[in-house]
Amino acid sequence: MKLASLKNETRDGVLVVVSRDLTHAVAVDDIAPTLQAAIERWSEVEPLLQARSVALNAGELPEAFVFDETKAASPLPRAYQWLDGSAYLSHVELVRKARGVEMQKSFLEEPLMYQGASDYFTGPHDPVLVADEDWGVDLEAEIAIITDDVPMLTSPTDAKSHIKLLMLVNDISLRHIIPAELSKGFGFLNGKGVTAFSPIALTPDELGDAWDGSKVSLPLTVHINGEKLGDPLAGVDVYFEFPRLISHAAATRTLGAGTVIGSGTVSNHDRSRGFCCISEKRALEVVEHGQPKTPFFHFGDRVRVEMFDADGESIFGAIDNEIKKFSN
């Protein structure tokens, strides 16, 4: 089942079910007006939504309309909680190597994770607004999950059952702001810009064999201004899989329904697959040539994040954001 939130006059949009090929949709506000409302009653509403999805894909709903993903908000236009991990330690290792710093052994013992701003998510086809391109504007292409209510002290084994939906992520990082913030020892705030998610949030069964209950085994493709930055394999080099990330987040508290957890930048030790962030490419340039050559984003640049199935069809729709100057 594929779900989206179409923009309307409200902050949370209206929930629709989208056909598997992303061509048509049908409103389901009679079942749940928003995705947040659905996820809070998931055991009750999922069968109803699934039935509507089956009928839509069978062409049995005359009220279906053409789906335009450019009119979609992020599936959860805002969320009670957004947690971003760092599941791919090849990313951490390379970036630190470029700075001449070894990766701490503690990074192998428990996930890195921060709590980001979630009061407003950028739409998948909306501009990323930045006040100053000298902030070092970068993307981080990731996969994310949405959970139902997760009890405190949930084990990784039990955490699998709490993964209800998956999305793609473009997590904007302001690389020239981050170092000074982290040096204070209190985590990210201004160094993390806006976050955008794919038009589609889907149930794990839509991924077929590419989903094993813990990770997605497909390439994640990133283009900048039409040129491929990379397509790393999301199922390779995952040191902390999603159930482990959920368990870590729930170590001292419950997670409310609608919690969004990101994988962190998808990254492979095999650098021939390219990159899901500019910073990692720059780090490799430093290691190999002594200095970075690739610039961070300029105003007017465009980033596209997408995942394709074995037939080359887009699974989640595209995140396609232009970097634009903010003015008030």
Which residues have a Cβ under 8 Å from the Cβ of 107 and sit 6 or more positions away? 89, 92
User: Distance (Å, rounded) from C-alpha 307 to C-alpha 328?
Assistant: 35
Highest mean pLDDT among 93-97, 187-191, 251-255: 251-255
More confident of the two residues 217 and 108: 217
**Mean pLDDT of all residues in 66-83:** 98
Neighbour-count burial for 42-64, b at 16+ CB within 10 Å, e otherwise: beebbeebeebbeebbeeebeeb
Say what the pLDDT of residue 61 is: 97
Which residue ranges form the domains of the chain, and what is each CATH number?
2-71 (no CATH), 74-325 (3.90.850.10)
Amino acid at 300: G
Q: What six digits make up the tokens of 275?
A: 């990159």
User: Distance (Å, rounded) from C-alpha 36 to C-alpha 189?
Assistant: 25
| Chain segment 240-271, per-residue pLDDT in tens | 999 999 999 999 999 999 999 999 999 999 99
Strands 227-230 and 113-116, sheet pairing: unpaired
User: Distance (Å, rounded) from C-alpha 219 to C-alpha 213?
Assistant: 17
Say what the pLDDT of residue 29 is: 95
Length of the chain: 328
pTM of the model: 0.96
Q: What does pLDDT average to over the chain?
A: 95
Q: What six digits make up the tokens of 230?
A: 């990379």
pLDDT band at residue 328 under the 50/70/90 scheme: confident
User: Distance (Å, rounded) from C-alpha 175 to C-alpha 172?
Assistant: 9
**Mean pLDDT of all residues in 136-141:** 97
**Mean pLDDT of all residues in 164-179:** 96
Say what the pLDDT of residue 105 is: 76
